[in-house]
Amino acid sequence: MERKKRGSALHVNEGVDQPASLNSRWLEQSKKRSRRQLSSAEFVSGILSGDRVVLSKAITLVESNRPGDYQMAQEIIEKCLPYSGDSVRVGITGVPGVGKSSFIEALGTFLIKHGHKLAVLAIDPSSQRSKGSILGDKTRMETLAGSNNAFIRPSPSAGSLGGVARKTRETIILCEAAGYHNVLVETVGVGQSETAVYELVDFFLLLMLSGAGDELQGIKRGIMEMSDAIVINKADGDNVDAARQAERQYANALHLFPAKESGWAPKTNTCSAITGNNIPQVWEMIRQFITLTKKNGAFARKRQEQEIHRMYESINERLQNDLHQNQTVKKMQEEMEQRITRQEVSAYVAAQQVFETYKKSREQG
């Protein structure tokens, strides 16, 4: 059999090895090409033409902590800003296991089928894994991960929540400029990260399960209050009735919250990320929200408020960095730590002295 094949035209002959020198020189050049830093204009034109490799590289600059990269990233973002904004930004939260990744896979697949493009980002400052959290979930986002119409970016590696939120906000701008006009931002429903996501998105969606009290689901009242919709996931199989019952309970609970400034009355629904049941209805709900808030001005107002919030956040971040990088301040802080330990000075007075030192050193240039 083997011998027969050899004689056949179907047999693929083993290729002749290329001379090593040729190969390695070509490889070296190709490495150099990819290593060469693009100019900010090259970055911008790459992003605007939808080049995913360039987009990824630009996001890496945004996530970098090197001052040179930061500068470059800011230049790119400034130029991309006019091309961003025409988008729908949706935040998705819920405890681990509620089905966020599966839901994003289902909603994303639905959107792609209807001709949309989407970016999937995550905020998870607790993640110590260098590759962030979403990547681990990629197995649950198989269709999206394999589609050119979806751009999935894992959460930047652990850092301060403010830092991670800023990086995500800047990543949103780049993704939108690259043509991903639907942005889904996922966060684990524990800690403060929901508030950070709320500050980044237009619509905030809380996924819940039936049959578990909210205490069990670790959801704080404040998060329910922030939500524009509560959707009970896993409404399939034997769980459909329980999900509907939970939905009614959450609908009643939502009535107790004060009316939203946006004029939107938060909605509830049930869905199944696995069967896809009600996924189009959830998207329709989001669209209704966008239509209403664009009409009554709340959409633009919220984005403006977010922008102002971001300015203050950015001022704080810069001040903090400047303060902590100042060597004179550093020495003073160490001295104050010791004096506090010896109970010679109160924390308040110590902080005041550190700040005075900082001010003086700034004045002296």
**Residues at the interface with ligand GDP (CB under 6 A):** 94, 96-102, 137, 140, 233-234, 236, 272-274
Q: Which is closer to ligand GDP, CB of 137 or CB of 170?
A: 137
CA dihedral of residues 233, 237, 241, 247 (deg, nearest 10):
10
CB atoms within 10 A of CB 273: 25
Of 74 and 217, the one with the shorter C-beta distance to ligand GDP is: 217
Can you say whether residue 211 is alpha, beta or left, with left for phi > 0 and alpha for psi between -120 and 50 degrees? left
Q: Which is nearer to ligand GDP, 189 or 266 (CB)?
A: 189
Residue 150 phi/psi, 5° resolution?
-120, 140
CB of 364 vs ligand GDP, minimal distance in Å? 52
Please give the Cα distance from 269 to 279 (Å, whole number).
Answer: 10
Name the minimum Å distance from CB 19 to ligand GDP: 49
Q: How far is C-alpha 243 from the chain's CA centre?
A: 28
Q: How far is the CB of 62 from ligand GDP (least distance, A)?
A: 24
Provide, rounded to whole angstroms, the least separation between the CB of residue 207 and ligand GDP: 7
Tell me whether residue 127 or residue 233 sits nearer to ligand GDP (CB atom): 233
Please, what is the minimum distance in Å from the beta carbon of residue 94 to ligand GDP?
Answer: 6
Q: Quote the least distance from Cβ 100 to ligand GDP, whole Å.
A: 3
| Among 193, 194, 173, CA closest to 83 | 173
Q: Which is nearer to ligand GDP, 272 or 357 (CB)?
A: 272
Nearer to ligand GDP by Cβ, of 87 and 210: the residue is 210
CB atoms within 10 A of CB 321: 12
Q: Cβ-closest residue to ligand GDP? A: 99
Torsion of CA 36, 130, 143, 284, to 10 degrees: -100
